[in-house]
Amino acid sequence: MALMTTESKRVTVYFNADLHKALKLKSVQTSRSVSDLVNVAVCKALAEDAEDLSAFDQRADEPLMSYEEMIERLKEDGRI
């Protein structure tokens, strides 16, 4: 599953040595380029961020609860 297209942009990314080695090994094992692996990982991370933002938006109208109120509620429910 190659993600590279004619619209791809070239960037320089610096990885620590161990992470770079792991990416190269994964690349060989999966017959995918390091670029493809990084693109997929970044897309997944951005999708998770979008899900989180959506969840925040859905709960925007809920009343806020202080830390102290939350602790008290947990105590009342017997969870702490």
* pLDDT one-digit tens code per residue, 10-67: 999 999 999 999 999 999 999 999 999 999 999 999 999 988 888 888 888 888 999 9
Mean pLDDT across the chain, nearest whole number?
A: 91
The structural domain count of the chain equals 1
- For residue 1, the one-letter residue type is M
In a domain, 5, yes or no: no
Token pair, residue 78, equals: 């017997």
The residue ranking higher by pLDDT, 3 or 80, is: 80
Assign 76 to helix, strand or coil.
Answer: helix
Count the Cβ atoms, other than its own, within 10 Å of residue 69.
11
Stretch (H or E) spanning 52: helix 34-58
Note whether residue 53 is domain-resident. Answer: yes
Within a domain: 30: yes
Q: Which domain holds residue 39?
A: 17-76
Q: Is residue 4 part of a domain?
A: no
The pLDDT of residue 4 is above 70: no
- CB of 30 closer than 8 Å to CB of 37: yes
pTM: 0.61
Q: Cβ distance 2 to 36 under 8 Å?
A: yes
Q: Does 41 reside within a domain?
A: yes
